[in-house]
């Protein structure tokens, strides 16, 4: 292999590598953007789900707290007799009814309440730890409520307390006249279960979670499908570009670069297996005159029809490519010089007797061909091309429409 052939092959290999690297980079970018988009989708849905979780949890607590406030307010009104619409007897009747309800509810772990005081007359009204903390807070601060959510155990609930402050009217109901208005006398403690609310929240959470997962999967499939389609389109465009670089766009024959690369491959195979290899350079005579007389499209029509005619005249393992403007390079593996000359002569005769129909006009052309057999290790491809080029030149110089050979084998 000569230095020029080596440089050409190295350059061709380098160009192929660069094209492959560009393709891989673009496909890599698509993959990275795809995974980035999928990650953003998952994060967005996780954020939305977290926001939903916080909002629903907060709503459950606010609803339970509001119910506790209303219930505790009713109890305090009943204890202090602050209702303007009812008398003392009706207030106590209402209170006794509420107490009965609370005792019944306590047995079924439903909403219940109790009264507690620091110095209770009834031992049942002794404060527990939560109520003691509430009494201390009401003494030391200006808070008017104290609550705590308990989620442990089988019955999640809210514990709510409000202070019971003595009023001026309290003296009319008690024998002791040492009540002072605004004095802390105890607390009302309310316990309201939130199990049902949490159960409904759990169902909503499960539904929302599966909805998010389904949506994520659906969007992910769409994104992945689009990414795959884009990747296929890029690959297809590169394949088309690669094919177009190997194919002559007018005739559909292999391009000059491709046919020369194939010649090198055939030469390497012929050298390995010690088989003959010949080549024919075919040039259309006076194609420029056809263009001048009938137009450029007429010349293109001639090139296309002759390309089909040459292909039909060759064997399956032969190959022809467009070598130049009006030149074809024919490769004839396993063919010695004389047999190659016969092939070239048959091509010349077929073309001479063929008419190209262009818009109702019959155009006839001839060709001049040069033939040479590769001499193996004693010459490189450039030297072989030079010899068939000189043979083809001699065919033109000797009157055209003929075949000349270079018999230096």
Q: Where are the alpha helices (DSSP H) in 247-295?
A: 256-273, 287-294
CATH of the domain at 366: 3.30.70.270
Residue 387 sits at the vertex; the CA angle it makes with 384 and 390, to the nearest 5 degrees, is 150
Same domain (yes/no): 279, 130: no
Same domain (yes/no): 325, 207: no
Binning pLDDT at 50, 70 and 90, where does residue 351 land?
A: very high
Check: CB of residue 358 under 8 Å from CB of residue 294.
Answer: yes
Indicate whether 397 belongs to any domain. Answer: yes
Closest CA to 393 of 408, 372, 376: 372
Same domain (yes/no): 223, 304: no
Pick the range with the lowest mean pLDDT from 252-256, 384-388, 405-409.
Answer: 405-409
pLDDT in tens, 252-298: 899 998 899 999 999 999 999 999 999 999 999 999 999 999 999 99
Residue 37: predicted pLDDT: 82
- Range picked from 40-44, 136-140, 178-182, 391-395 for highest mean pLDDT: 391-395
Same domain (yes/no): 185, 289: no
pLDDT in tens, 158-202: 888 888 887 655 555 555 555 566 678 788 888 888 888 777 888
Same domain (yes/no): 231, 318: no
Residue 167: predicted pLDDT: 65
**Secondary structure of 212-260 in the HEC alphabet?**
HHHHHHHHHHHHHHHHHHHHHHHHHHHHHHHHHHHECCCCCCECHHHHH
Same domain (yes/no): 260, 143: no
pLDDT in tens, 228-249: 887 777 777 766 666 666 888 8
Same domain (yes/no): 232, 282: no
Indicate whether 250 belongs to any domain. Answer: no
Residue 3: predicted pLDDT: 46
Task: Return the residue matching tokens 């092939």.
Answer: 343
As a whole number, the mean pLDDT across the chain is 81
Residue 26: predicted pLDDT: 75
Question: For 24-34, b where at least 16 C-beta lie within 10 A, e where not — what string?
Answer: eebbeebeeeb
Indicate whether 6 belongs to any domain. Answer: no
Is a pLDDT exceeding 90 seen at residue 349? yes
Pick the range with the lowest mean pLDDT from 12-26, 360-374, 382-396.
Answer: 12-26
Per DSSP, what are the bridge partners of residue 192?
158
Residue 407: predicted pLDDT: 76
Cα–Cα distance for residue pair 380/378, rounded to 1 Å = 7
Residue 2: predicted pLDDT: 46
Residue 104: predicted pLDDT: 47
Indicate whether 100 belongs to any domain. Answer: yes
Same domain (yes/no): 231, 324: no
Cα–Cα distance for residue pair 244/241, rounded to 1 Å = 5
**Structural domain boundaries enclosing 82:** 18-237
Is a pLDDT exceeding 90 seen at residue 399? yes
- Edge-first strand listing for the sheet containing 367-373: 319-322, 327-333, 277-284, 367-373, 403-406
Indicate whether 251 belongs to any domain. Answer: no
Indicate whether 391 belongs to any domain. Answer: yes
Whole-prediction pTM value?
0.50
Same domain (yes/no): 298, 206: no
Pick the range with the lowest mean pLDDT from 6-10, 206-210, 299-303, 367-371.
Answer: 6-10
Same domain (yes/no): 226, 263: no
Same domain (yes/no): 222, 333: no
Pick the range with the lowest mean pLDDT from 75-84, 97-106, 165-174, 206-215.
Answer: 97-106
Residue 108 sits at the vertex; the CA angle it makes with 105 and 111, to the nearest 5 degrees, is 40
Indicate whether 249 belongs to any domain. Answer: no
Residue 299: predicted pLDDT: 94
Cα–Cα distance for residue pair 299/288, rounded to 1 Å = 8
Residue 328: predicted pLDDT: 96
Number of compact structural domains in the chain: 2
CB neighbours (10 Å) of residue 209?
14
Binning pLDDT at 50, 70 and 90, where does residue 86 land?
A: very low
Mean pLDDT within 383-401: 95
């Amino acid at each position: 292999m000569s230095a020029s052939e080596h440089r050409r092959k190295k350059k061709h290999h380098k160009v192929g590598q660069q094209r492959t690297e560009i393709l891989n980079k673009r496909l890599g970018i698509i993959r990275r953007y795809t995974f980035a988009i999928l990650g953003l989708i998952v994060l967005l849905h996780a954020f939305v789900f977290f926001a939903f979780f916080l909002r629903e949890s907060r709503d459950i607590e606010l609803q339970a707290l509001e119910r506790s406030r209303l219930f505790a307010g009713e109890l305090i009104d009943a204890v202090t007799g602050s209702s303007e619409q009812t008398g003392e007897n009706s207030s106590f009747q209402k209170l006794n009814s509420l107490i009965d309800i609370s005792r019944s509810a306590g047995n079924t772990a439903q909403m219940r309440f109790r009264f507690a005081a620091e110095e209770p007359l009834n031992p049942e009204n002794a404060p527990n730890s939560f109520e003691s903390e509430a009494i201390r807070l009401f003494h030391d601060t200006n808070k008017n409520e104290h609550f705590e959510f308990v989620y442990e155990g089988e019955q999640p609930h809210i514990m709510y307390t409000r202070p019971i402050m003595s009023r001026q009217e309290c003296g009319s109901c008690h024998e002791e006249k040492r009540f002072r208005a605004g004095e802390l006398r105890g607390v009302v403690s309310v316990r309201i279960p939130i199990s049902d609310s949490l159960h409904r929240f759990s169902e909503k959470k499960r539904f929302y979670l599966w909805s998010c997962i389904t949506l994520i999967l659906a969007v992910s499939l769409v994104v992945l499908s689009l990414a795959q389609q884009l990747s296929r389109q890029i690959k297809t465009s590169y394949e088309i570009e690669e094919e177009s670089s190997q194919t002559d766009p007018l005739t559909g024959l292999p391009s000059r670069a491709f046919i020369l690369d194939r010649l090198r491959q055939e030469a390497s195979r012929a050298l390995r297996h010690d088989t003959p290899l010949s080549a024919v350079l075919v040039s259309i005579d006076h194609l420029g005159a056809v263009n001048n007389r009938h137009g450029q499209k007429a010349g293109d029509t001639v090139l296309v029809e002759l390309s089909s005619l040459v292909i039909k005249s060759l064997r399956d393992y032969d190959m022809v490519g467009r070598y130049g403007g009006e030149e074809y390079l024919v490769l004839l593996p396993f063919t010695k010089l004389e047999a190659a000359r016969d092939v070239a002569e048959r091509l010349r005769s077929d073309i001479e007797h063929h008419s190209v129909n262009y818009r109702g006009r019959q155009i006839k052309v001839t060709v001049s061909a040069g033939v040479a057999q590769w001499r193996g290790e004693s010459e490189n491809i450039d030297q072989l091309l030079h010899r068939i080029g000189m043979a083809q030149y001699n065919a033109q110089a000797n009157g055209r429409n003929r075949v000349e050979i270079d018999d230096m084998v």
